[in-house]
Amino acid sequence: MLTDYPKAIVTKDGTSVLLRPVTEYDEKELNRFFSEIPMNEQWFLRHKLDEPETLHRWIERLDYSRILPIIAEREDDRKIIANLRLHLHEAPCILHVGHLRVMVHPAYRSQKVGSWMILDCIKTAMDMGLEKLIAEFVSGVEDAAINAAIKLDFKHEGVLTDYIKDQNGIYHDLIIMVRNLSSDWSDF
Residue 97: strand pairing partners: 132
pLDDT in tens, 139-177: 888 888 888 899 999 999 999 999 988 888 999 999 999
The whole-angstrom separation of Cα 44 and Cα 164 is 8
- pTM of the predicted model, to two decimals? 0.87
Task: Report the chain's C-alpha Rg in angstroms.
Answer: 16
Residue 185 is assigned to a structural domain of this protein: no
Residue 104 is assigned to a structural domain of this protein: yes
Residue 188 is assigned to a structural domain of this protein: no
Report the 10 Å Cβ neighbour count for 46. Answer: 10
What's residue 52's pLDDT? Answer: 80
Residue 32 is assigned to a structural domain of this protein: yes
Residue 164 is assigned to a structural domain of this protein: yes
What's residue 53's pLDDT? Answer: 86
What's residue 55's pLDDT? Answer: 84
The count of domains in the chain is 1
What's residue 117's pLDDT? Answer: 93
pLDDT in tens, 17-67: 999 999 999 999 999 998 888 877 766 666 666 678 888 888 899 989 899
DSSP assignment, residue 109?
Answer: T
Residue 186 is assigned to a structural domain of this protein: no
The whole-angstrom separation of Cα 1 and Cα 124 is 7
Asked, as a colleague might, if the bond just before 106 is cis with ω within 30 of 0, I would say no
Residue 187 is assigned to a structural domain of this protein: no
pLDDT tier at 2, thresholds 50, 70, 90: confident
DSSP assignment, residue 172?
Answer: E
The whole-angstrom separation of Cα 20 and Cα 15 is 16
pLDDT in tens, 96-140: 999 999 989 999 988 889 889 999 999 999 999 999 999 999 888
Domain with residue 38: its CATH number is 3.40.630.30
Domain with 91, as residue range(s), is: 2-180
Residue 71 is assigned to a structural domain of this protein: yes
